[in-house]
Structure 1
Amino acid sequence: MTSFESAKKLFKLISHSPFDFFIASCFVIVLATVELPLPIFMAILIDNIIPSGDTKNLIFVGLLLFGFRAGASIFQVIQNYIVAIIINDFTANIRKSMIFKMLRMPYQNYLNAEAHGMATRFSEDVDKVSEFAQHTIVFLIRPILSFTFIMTLMMFWNVPLALYCLIIIPAITLATRLIRSRMQMYSLQQKVCTEKLEIKIVEALSNIKIIRAFTAEEIFHKKADVEIENIEKSSISFKLWSEFANKSIEIIRTLNQIGFIFFAAWQVFDGNLTLGGFIALQTMADGVRSPIAQIMFYFTNFSSKAVSLDRVYEVIDQKQEQEDNHHLKKLEAIEGNIKFKNIDLIYGKTRVLNNITLDIPKGQMVALVGPSGAGKTSLTNLLMGLVKPDDGQIYIDDYSLRGIDIYSLRDHMGVVYQESILFNNTVKYNMLMGSANATNDAIWEALEIANAKEFIENLPNKLDTIIGVNGIKLSGGQQQRLSIARAILSNPKIMILDEATSSLDSTSELEIKMALDNALKDRTSIVIAHRLSTIVNADKIIVIDKGKIIDSGTHQELIQKKSGLYYELYQTQTEGLENYKQSK
Structure 2
Amino acid sequence: MKDYFRLLSFAKPIEKFAIPYVFATLLYILFNTLNLALLAPLLDTLFNHKKAVEVAVAAAPAITEEKSWWDIMAKFRELTDYFILNYGDAQALKYVCLMIVASVFLSNIFRYLSAKTMEDLRVHTLLNLRKNVFNNVMNLHLGYFNSQRKGDIISKVSSDVQVVQFTVTNTLQVVFKEPVTLIVYIVLLFSISVKLTLFSLLIIPLSGLIIAKIVKRLRQQATQAHETFANMIGYLDEALSGIKIVKAFNATDYVKDRFHQENVKYSNITRKMVRRQQLASPVSEFLGVMMVAGIVYFGGSLVLTGKSDLTSSEFIAYIAIFSQVMRPAKALSDAFSGIHSGLAAGKRVLDLIDEKPEIVDSPKAIEIKSFNSSIVLQDVSFSYGEKKILDHINIEIPKGKTVALVGPSGGGKSTLMDLIPRFIEPQEGKILIDGIDIREVKVASLRSQMGFVNQESILFNDTIFNNIAFAKPDATADEVMAAAKIANAHDFIMNTDEGYETSIGDRGIRLSGGQRQRLCIARAILGNPPLMLLDEATSALDTESEKLVQDALYKLMENRTSLIIAHRLSTIQNADLIVVVENGKVIESGSHSELLNYNGLYRRLIDMQTFSE
Specify the alignment match of 1:582 in structure 2.
none
1:178 aligns with 2:213: yes
When structure 1 is superposed on structure 2, of 44-53 and 441-450 the one drifting more is 44-53
When structure 1 is superposed on structure 2, of 167-176 and 537-546 the one drifting more is 167-176
Secondary structure at 2:429's aligned position in 1? Answer: strand
Specify the alignment match of 2:611 in structure 1.
575
Specify the alignment match of 1:484 in structure 2.
521
Whole-Å separation in 2 of the counterparts to 1:157 and 1:48: 18
1:566 aligns with 2:595: no
Whole-Å separation in 2 of the counterparts to 1:151 and 1:325: 60
Specify the alignment match of 1:304 in structure 2.
341
Whole-Å separation in 1 of the counterparts to 2:340 and 2:329: 18
Shift of residue 168, structure 1, vs aligned partner: 4.3
Specify the alignment match of 2:18 in structure 1.
21
Shift of residue 505, structure 1, vs aligned partner: 2.1
For the 8 Å contact 2:406–2:580, the answer to whether it is kept is: yes
For the 8 Å contact 1:14–1:90, the answer to whether it is kept is: yes
When structure 1 is superposed on structure 2, of 380-389 and 236-245 the one drifting more is 236-245
Specify the alignment match of 2:54 in structure 1.
none
The superposition leaves residues 175-221 of structure 1 with CA deviations (integer Å, 9 ceiling, x where unpaired) of 12332233223322222222111111211221122222211111111
TM-score norm. by structure 1 comes to 0.93
For the 8 Å contact 2:375–2:433, the answer to whether it is kept is: yes
For the 8 Å contact 2:401–2:560, the answer to whether it is kept is: yes
Q: CA 1:69–1:446 in structure 2 vs 1: closer, same or farther (change >3 Å)?
A: same
Shift of residue 45, structure 1, vs aligned partner: 3.6
Q: Where does 1:274-353 land on structure 2 (aligned, <5 Å)?
A: 274-320=311-357, 327-335=364-372, 337-353=374-390
Shift of residue 320, structure 1, vs aligned partner: 4.0
Q: CA 1:114–1:339 in structure 2 vs 1: closer, same or farther (change >3 Å)?
A: same
Partner residue of 1:378 out of 415, 421, 426: 415
Return the letter of the residue paired with 1:571. D
Whole-Å separation in 1 of the counterparts to 2:376 and 2:504: 39
For the 8 Å contact 1:344–1:389, the answer to whether it is kept is: yes
1:400 aligns with 2:437: yes
Whole-Å separation in 1 of the counterparts to 2:469 and 2:200: 67
Aligned length: 573
Shift of residue 519, structure 1, vs aligned partner: 0.3
Whole-Å separation in 2 of the counterparts to 1:246 and 1:576: 74
1:440 aligns with 2:477: yes
Specify the alignment match of 1:12 in structure 2.
9
1:267 aligns with 2:264: no
Secondary structure at 2:432's aligned position in 1? Answer: strand
For the 8 Å contact 1:335–1:493, the answer to whether it is kept is: no
Return the letter of the residue paired with 1:69. V
Secondary structure at 2:425's aligned position in 1? Answer: coil
Whole-Å separation in 1 of the counterparts to 2:200 and 2:430: 71
Return the letter of the residue paired with 1:13. F
Specify the alignment match of 2:135 in structure 1.
100
Gapped regions of structure 2 (runs ≥ 5): 51-83
For the 8 Å contact 1:336–1:494, the answer to whether it is kept is: no
Secondary structure at 1:342's aligned position in 2? Answer: strand
Whole-Å separation in 2 of the counterparts to 1:263 and 1:346: 78
Secondary structure at 1:466's aligned position in 2? Answer: coil
For the 8 Å contact 2:45–2:93, the answer to whether it is kept is: no
Q: CA 1:165–1:410 in structure 2 vs 1: closer, same or farther (change >3 Å)?
A: farther
Gapped regions of structure 1 (runs ≥ 5): 578-584
For the 8 Å contact 1:140–1:294, the answer to whether it is kept is: no
Secondary structure at 2:411's aligned position in 1? Answer: coil
Whole-Å separation in 1 of the counterparts to 2:44 and 2:151: 68
Shift of residue 321, structure 1, vs aligned partner: 5.8
Specify the alignment match of 1:115 in structure 2.
150
Return the letter of the residue paired with 2:542. D
Shift of residue 155, structure 1, vs aligned partner: 3.3
CA-atom RMSD in angstroms = 2.1
Specify the alignment match of 1:452 in structure 2.
489
Return the letter of the residue paired with 2:414. T
Identity across matched positions, percent: 31
Return the letter of the residue paired with 2:286. I
Return the letter of the residue paired with 1:181. K
Whole-Å separation in 1 of the counterparts to 2:311 and 2:526: 87
Secondary structure at 1:16's aligned position in 2? Answer: coil
Specify the alignment match of 2:586 in structure 1.
549
Partner residue of 2:290 out of 255, 264, 267: 255
Q: Where does 1:203-282 land on structure 2 (aligned, <5 Å)?
A: 203-269=238-304, 270-282=307-319
When structure 1 is superposed on structure 2, of 404-413 and 280-289 the one drifting more is 280-289
Return the letter of the residue paired with 1:394. I
Shift of residue 428, structure 1, vs aligned partner: 0.4
Whole-Å separation in 2 of the counterparts to 1:132 and 1:498: 46
For the 8 Å contact 1:15–1:21, the answer to whether it is kept is: no
TM-score norm. by structure 2 comes to 0.89
Shift of residue 325, structure 1, vs aligned partner: 6.7
Secondary structure at 1:46's aligned position in 2? Answer: helix
For the 8 Å contact 2:361–2:441, the answer to whether it is kept is: no
For the 8 Å contact 2:220–2:344, the answer to whether it is kept is: no
Return the letter of the residue paired with 2:112. V
Secondary structure at 2:177's aligned position in 1? Answer: helix
Return the letter of the residue paired with 1:80. A
Whole-Å separation in 2 of the counterparts to 1:157 and 1:403: 75
Q: CA 1:60–1:159 in structure 2 vs 1: closer, same or farther (change >3 Å)?
A: same
For the 8 Å contact 1:336–1:523, the answer to whether it is kept is: no
The superposition leaves residues 336-390 of structure 1 with CA deviations (integer Å, 9 ceiling, x where unpaired) of 6211122221112211112222221111111111211111111111112111121
Return the letter of the residue paired with 1:9. R
For the 8 Å contact 2:535–2:566, the answer to whether it is kept is: yes
Secondary structure at 1:36's aligned position in 2? Answer: helix
